[in-house]
Amino acid sequence: MKIEIEQVKGVCGLGTGDKTCSYLACGAAWECLKGTEVESTILSRREAGTINAMGDNCSGPPDLIENALDGYDESPLSDRGRKQ
């Protein structure tokens, strides 16, 4: 799903280091890969620690509702954005 730059900067966290959303991709346009066939690969890379962007910042397409941070584990090895 293509997303606008305001969403990319605000919710996806572009430029915020490891808090940037793991599912953010840029090809011809900014896209959310959550819920696509690539999601399992992204999850594997997050678990293996081979991806820098560790955020899981929203509900994914089609609504892209920002995740609340209360109750979420922000430790470096956590599955960020998933309740522990």
Is the pLDDT at 73 greater than 60, yes or no?
Answer: no
What are the C-alpha distances in Å from 54 to residues 28, 45, 62, 76, 78?
A: 23, 10, 21, 9, 9
Nearest to 47, CA basis, from 82, 16, 12: 82
**Helix intervals (H) in 11-75:** 39-48
What distance in Å separates the CA atoms of residue 32 and residue 2, rounded to the nearest whole number? Answer: 7
pLDDT tens figures, 23-63: 999 999 999 999 999 999 999 999 999 999 999 999 988 88
Least confidently predicted of 1-5, 29-33, 74-78: 74-78
pTM (2 decimals)? 0.75
Q: Where are the domains of the chain?
A: 1-72
Instruction: Quote the pLDDT of residue 69.
Output: 57
